[in-house]
Structure 1
Amino acid sequence: MKLMKDEIETRRTFAIISHPDAGKTTLTEKLLLFGGAIREAGTVKGRKNSKHAMSDWMEIEKQRGISVTSSVLEFQYDGYHVNILDTPGHEDFSEDTYRTLTAADSATMLIDAAKGVEAQTKKLFKVCKMRGIPIFTFMNKLDRQGRDPFELMEELENLLGIRSYPVGWPIGMGQSFKAVYDRHHKKLELYNPDNPKDIDIISLSGPDDPKLDEVINDEGLVAQFREELELLDVAGDDFDVDLIARGELTPIFFGSAISSFGVQTFLQHFLSLSPAPTVRESTIGPIDPKTREAFSGFIFKVQANMNAKHRDRVAFLRITSGRFKRGMSVKHVRTNKPLKLSQPTQFLAQNRSIVEEACAGDIIGLFDPGTFRIGDTLVEGEAFEFDEMPHFSPEHFAAITVKEALKHKSYEKGLQQLTEEGAIQLFRTYNKYVEQQIVGVVGVLQFEVLEHRLKGEYNVDIQLERQPFSFARWIDGPSKALATLKEKQRNLVTDREGRLVALFENEFQMRTAQDKYPELTFYENSFYKKSII
């Protein structure tokens, strides 16, 4: 049996971040192919006549051709145990992505070489940057005409504030795309447009090797490549492992995920450069997986109805220290109760298998009868909690009602479960005579998902009536000031914990209320104080 430290060193847990349509789901599936986890990849486009993407398991994802929830995918490759956190690219589901990034030790930033850094990539990069995790860049779609590689590198620095080091460098692009040169291993990966999966790798003594002229057979392209490489060597950033580890320098790889070109090379470099499970901050100080033997972990995602036949709910746990064993007893810190973990699973999207043991860095699923919430900490021994999960104020609101009164029980169950997943935030109007439920979401497409899932998973039809609000602020302060607010302020609601929240149509209304009640504090999220149960 491997020592714990040795096992941890083989773990790689990372997220893939990108703007929609950059090819993220395709890249994920190609990594799974190289890991032997699947035999063929689904395609994202033309879905009516093809397999659905392996990581898109929810019915609405198959219909719309987008990822709307994070998937966990696990496979083995070359002695490494790899956990991919495949996140939604669409900005309307960014909150799920932000939470998922807390479970990752590094990130792969996928960029469309024709479009460069796009809006959603920029947002997600900022979250990674705040956490200080290593970021690896894959410039995708080199087989299509794209932007100049130097221009793409400059954009990384200007828009994202990160320096870059190209591990590989392309020869040509689009119709003239010929190969990618591996600067570290001095190898040439040749692109065959007629059969992209047929990849020849040729060892060279360096960029001046005459073999390069023979295999490329394009004097102009080879001359341009040598000039560019010389410029990189003279003016480019040096390769620095420490800067990469701190997230200050991103290694760049070039390729085409749809044709599998450059993906395996990227995977091999990534596994050697990316970190094993890292230290996590907690209420008792840093938790180091390499020195702490006691088990600990946190819930970063709750997902209902992954298996439509069983209507079950799964809580995703990131193990942060120690060894997990099936059937072990731990402390659920929020409730201060012991808990037996008897049905742990590991994932390949919606497919799952029972796991007997796991260690720091691994992601496991726990059967959830309604016990877990996002951010919960599970520990052996001394109780503590990890840093709070990112949580965002909703920006779109709708009053929600059930169309058939006889289905009210199923409706309430569905709302409760989707709220606990973090897919929506549910509020009730602060009025003892007329109670209305209001749903708050970060992106408007979440309303469509809510309607679709309540119908498909709970057989409930709903009516949504959009509300004019744009801001929600949680309010706390002296009792007297709160009492005055409750009497005079319009559009007050309570969240699922009974905390007071004010809804505002615009920033002017919000500032006016803050000026009117200076003794009260208006918080952007619900984590200004933790619920004690």
Structure 2
Amino acid sequence: MEKEVRKLRNIGISAHIDSGKTTLTERILFFTQRIHAIHDVKGKDGVGATMDSMELERERGITIASAATFCQWKGFNVNIIDTPGHVDFTIEVERSLRVLDGAILVLCAVGGVQSQSITVDRQMKRYNVPCVAFVNKCDRSGADPFRVTRQLREKLAHNAVMLQMPIGLEADLKGVVDLVSMQALYFKGEHGETVESGPVPASLAEKAAGMREDLVDAASAFSDELTDAILEGKEIPEALLVSAIRTGTLSRGMTPVFVGSAYKNKGVQPLLDAVNAYLPAPEEVAVTALDVDGDNALVPLESDPAKPVVALAFKLEDGRYGQLTYVRVYQGTLAKGATVINSRTGKKVRIGRVVRMHADQMEDVDAILAGGIGALFGIDCASGDTFTAEGVRLAMTSIFVPDPVISLAIHPDGTQSETAMTKALNRFSKEDPTFRVYVDEETSETIIQGMGELHLDVYIERMKREYGATVTAGSPQVAYRETITRKVEFNYTHKKQTGGAGQYGRIAGYLEPAPGEGFDFLNKITGGAIPTQFIPACEKGFRKCIAKGPFMEFPVVDVRVCINDGASHAVDSSEMAFDAAARGAFQEAYRKAGPVIHEPIMRVSVETPTGFQGGALKLLNQRRGMIVGTQEEDINCTVEAQVPLAEMFGFSNVLRSATQGQAQFTMEFLTYREVPRSVAEELEKQKTRKQEK
């Protein structure tokens, strides 16, 4: 069993949109004989890639939901998760990286390090995931893996070291030179399934020797034995070099770079060898859980199948046969028929059916061992729940979930659609923590919230296809916030006398801006001016006010409330009285504190042919965009800007029209900033019109 864990790899394939993640996964499955025919992502043959199992994914040629599979390569078991590249589905990448031990960062040989590559890299850092880089599309015009490696160092601060160099580029890509073994590798056969090795071509020998020296030099930082061998001028054994590279990769001190073209079936098998050689086994990754009974102290876990089980439910999916719960087992063995405890609810759960996933297909297994990834059927739980053996009270840390930035009102067309829509919304909000649903109290409209236009568009389309719910969507609404700009003191008395017991409570203190704090409540009451039992009621009253601000009814953020004085009555004071006093004090002070509206600002990256650069800059400027920088690379250029989300609706259509369909853009949430006066006035007018209706 220990041997099995040592020969297990859990990897994710992550990258910018259109870098070739799903194509690479398709080739990996083909070469490991999990599938017996290769299909294109765009589905020209009407089939589509194996991992894009959703009809919508095949139509649009994009990955929407992460998909899991497993394969075997040279005696190693490899669990693979193919993740979306589009920033709207960033939660899929986030939760996949949470449970993976290593990753392949795919980069386009033409586009290089793009905006989403930076986001994915940030997520890998958050979960301390070691990775190898694969520079894909070396067969495309303008491909330059050497430039991409430089960008990895400069833009992402990786210690990127090439372990391969291409033999030819663009249309002349013939194979790769392996700088570790100093062999040339060629990919023969109809689908490049036969790897033939030979001597390094004479024209590349000098350059390859220089690059190998750089590689040995970089690897020597992670091995004293290798350093000694260099100083003594000895021949360097291949195993010693591999061991040093592995040490560097596992510590994230080094990123090995591989090259090839997944579409042309070149460079995939050596990449699989690298996964086995350089990425960690589950036992080599330090994993801790929180001790629920012991002040959340960190408890180290071991990838030992014999120890008490600890598993994390990281993704839920409502399939044809009920809820499917994807789990990663960190310790112990999750076996069919076993009873485990859900550490969040404390309830006992009996494991019925255990499966291994292959995209949307599944294979029944008896158990998932420590380090493994699989799925359970018929378990009622939430995403992020921890399952443990009886008597073990541990919980895994949850994933980072960004707040939604866009909302949309939806109306079902008829009663039948309403029932189907409710079912769909319940499922989607349970599966995706960034997709949220609520009913507006004033208008009774159903509001859906998400990470971007595409995110909500995909869910509306899925409602129609998977549930037959026809819905009409209103215009998108931006998630505005409001805050204050100056400190204001308050001294408010709430008094009510209507026969019998009255209400009395006085609160004094101040309101001040607290950038980045959200909401901060300070209790500086001394001498019992407000009895201790009423302090929570004061805080509760203030918290009620921040859900809908007194100024524009947007949520209030970055405000500190401090209470330092007050008064109570022996008979008339109560929790209700101090709750009301807090609300009155907040309403009164807030209006004097210079309230302003904040709007979400997006980090926008536009990639366009250089000839259309001026048009792209003009479009961004028209949308109140602040240009952060431009980079020209050969025939293409990238424009980085910060633009208010409110101005980005419909941008994709306008950009396509202005660039003859050749430009593309990505955007992700950056921060909140104060809106200009003209925009604030327009929002105030809209609010007035809404109230008049």
Q: Per the shorter chain, which TM-score range?
A: 0.7 to 0.9
Aligned equivalent of 1:197:
192
Q: Taking structure 1 as reference, are residues 97 and 491 closer, same or farther at Cα in structure 2, changes over 3 Å only?
A: farther
Q: 2:330 aligns with which of 303, 309, 320?
A: 320
Offset at residue 156 of structure 1 (A): 0.3
In the alignment, the residues of structure 2 paired with residue 510 and residue 171 of structure 1 have an alpha-carbon distance, to the nearest angstrom, of 48
What SS class does the counterpart of residue 466 from structure 1 fall into? Answer: coil
Asked if residue 435 in structure 1 is aligned to residue 417 in structure 2, the reply is no
Larger Rg: 2
2-structure distance, mates of 1:187, 1:132: 33
* 1:36 Cα deviation after fit: 1.4
Give, in angstroms, the shift of residue 118 of structure 1. Answer: 1.0
RMSD of aligned Cα (Å): 2.9
User: Structure 1: how far apart are the matches of 2:278 and 2:212?
Assistant: 24
* Residue in structure 2 matched with residue 523 of structure 1 by the alignment: none
* 1:482 equivalenced with 2:557 (yes/no): no
In 2 relative to 1, CA 133–406 (structure 1 residues): closer, same or farther, beyond 3 Å? Answer: closer
Which of 129, 135, 140 lines up with 1:139 in the alignment?
Answer: 135
Q: C-alpha displacement at 1:119, in angstroms?
A: 1.0
What does 1:276-425 align with in structure 2 at a 5 Å threshold? 276-277=281-282, 278-284=285-291, 285-290=298-303, 293-305=307-319, 307=320, 310=321, 312-368=322-378, 371-380=380-389, 381-422=391-432, 424-425=434-435
Q: Which residue of 1 aligns with 2:33?
A: 36
Distance 2:271 2:406 in 1: 39
In the alignment, is the contact (CA less than 8 A) between 1:73 and 1:348 conserved in 2? yes
In the alignment, is residue 67 of structure 1 matched against residue 59 of structure 2? no
Contact 2:435 2:448 (C-alpha < 8 Å) held by counterparts: yes
Helix, strand or coil: the match of 2:371? coil
- Unpaired runs of 5+ in structure 2? 221-243, 292-297, 483-517, 522-538, 556-596, 602-670, 676-693
Which residue of structure 1 lines up, in the alignment, with residue 250 of structure 2?
Answer: 245
Summarize deviations over 1:77-133 as a string: whole Å, max 9, x none: 222111101101122211221111101101101111111111111100111022222
* Equivalent residue, structure 2, for 1:529: none
1:506 has 2:587 as partner: no
Structure 1 match to 2:275: 270
Separation in 1, partners of 2:128, 2:360: 31
Q: Is the partner of 1:301 in helix, strand or coil?
A: strand
The structural deviation recorded for 1:283 is 1.1
Structure 1 stretch displaced more, 329-338 or 480-489 = 480-489
Shift of 1:443: 2.2
Q: Do structure 1's residue 171 and structure 2's residue 167 form an aligned pair? A: yes
Q: Distance in 1 between matches of 2:131 and 2:371?
A: 17
Shift of residue 225 of structure 1? 3.5
CA separation of 1:335 and 1:258: change in aligned 2, threshold 3 A? same
Please state how far the C-alpha of 1:338 moved relative to its aligned partner: 0.3
Say which SS state the counterpart of residue 188 (structure 1) adopts.
strand
2:11 aligns with one of 14, 33, 57 = 14
- Superposed CA deviations along residues 136-188 of structure 1, whole A, max 9, x for unmatched, are 11111222234443322211011101011222122221133333111222221
How far off is 1:505 after superposition? 6.1
Structure 2 counterpart SS, 1:49: coil
User: Are the equivalent residues in 2 in contact too, given 1:71–1:349 (CA < 8 A)?
Assistant: yes
- Asked if residue 107 in structure 1 is aligned to residue 103 in structure 2, the reply is yes
| Residue number in structure 1 paired with 2:123 | 127
Task: Please state how far the C-alpha of 1:406 moved relative to its aligned partner.
Answer: 3.5
User: Which residue does 1:261 correspond to in 2?
Assistant: 266
Is 1:54 equivalent to 2:50 in the alignment?
Answer: yes
**CA separation of 1:359 and 1:487: change in aligned 2, threshold 3 A:** closer
Structure number with higher strand proportion: 2
Cα distance in 2 for partners of 1:181, 1:403 equals: 61
1:232 corresponds in structure 2 to 214
SS of 2:105's partner is: strand
Preserved CA contact (<8 Å) 2:302 2:331: yes
Q: Give the deviation of 1:510 after TM superposition.
A: 7.1
Aligned to 2:515: none
Task: Please report the TM-score for the alignment, with normalisation by the length of structure 2.
Answer: 0.65
1:458 and 2:467 correspond: yes
What amino acid does structure 2 have at the position aligned with 1:395? V
Shift of 1:232: 3.3
Identity of aligned residues (%): 24
SS at match of 1:51: coil
Cα contact 2:481–2:599 (8 A) shared by 1: no
State the AA in 1 paired with 2:464.
K
Aligned AA for 2:267?
A: G
Distance in 2 (CA, whole Å) between partners of 1:344 and 1:97 is 24
Q: CA deviation at 1:303?
A: 1.4
Amino acid aligned to 1:15: G
Does the 8 A contact of 2:9 with 2:78 survive in 1? yes
Q: Secondary structure at the match of 1:259?
A: coil
Instruction: In structure 2, give the amino acid aligned to 1:386.
Output: M
CA distance in 1, matches of 2:97, 2:216: 35
Alignment-mate amino acid for residue 115 of structure 1: G
Mapped to 2, the partners of 1:152 and 1:367 lie a distance apart of: 43
Q: What displacement does 1:258 show?
A: 1.1
Q: How many residues align?
A: 481
Instruction: Specify the SS of the correspondent of 1:241.
Output: helix
Distance (Å, rounded) in 2 between the aligned partners of 1:455 and 1:475: 39
Matched residue type, 2:146: F
SS of equivalent residue, structure 1 residue 110: strand
- Aligned pairs for 1:491-530 (under 5 A) are 491=553, 506=599
Q: Is the 8 A contact 1:140 1:254 kept in 2?
A: yes
Secondary structure of the 1:139 match is strand
Q: Deviations over 1:260-316 (max 9, x none)?
A: 2111111012212111112322213243333571111111111123x4xx4x32111
Contact 1:19–1:90 (CA<8 Å) still a contact in 2? Answer: yes
Q: Tell which deviates more after alignment, 238-247 or 22-31.
A: 238-247
- CA shift for structure 1 position 411: 1.8
Which residue in 2 is equivalent to 1:531?
none
Structure with more relative contact order (C-alpha pairs < 8 Å, separation 6 or more): 1
How far, CA to CA, are the matches of 2:316 and 2:520 in structure 1? Answer: 28
CA distance in 2, matches of 1:487, 1:275: 48
Relative distance call for 1:169 and 1:406 in structure 2 (3 A) is: closer
Is the CA contact 1:199–1:261 (under 8 Å) kept in the aligned structure 2? no
Query: Hey, what's the Cα distance between the residues in 1 that align with 2:337 and 2:520?
Result: 41
- Are residues 507 and 38 of structure 1, via their aligned partners in 2, closer, same or farther at CA, if it must alter by over 3 Å? closer
Post-superposition offset of 1:482: 2.2
The 8 Å contact of residues 405 and 600 in structure 2, kept in 1 or not, is answered as no
The answer (yes or no) to whether the contact 1:137–1:251 under 8 Å persists in 2 is yes
Which amino acid letter does the alignment assign opposite residue 121 of structure 1?
S
Change (3 A) 1:464 1:165: same
In structure 1, what residue type is equivalent to 2:445? Q
**SS of alignment partner, residue 391 of structure 1:** coil
8 Å CA contact retained: 1:112, 1:140: yes
Structure 1 residues 342-369: Cα deviation after superposition (integer angstroms, max 9, x where no partner)? 0111111001111111212221112246
Query: 1:425-451: CA deviations, max 9, x gaps?
Result: 3343563x6433211111211112111
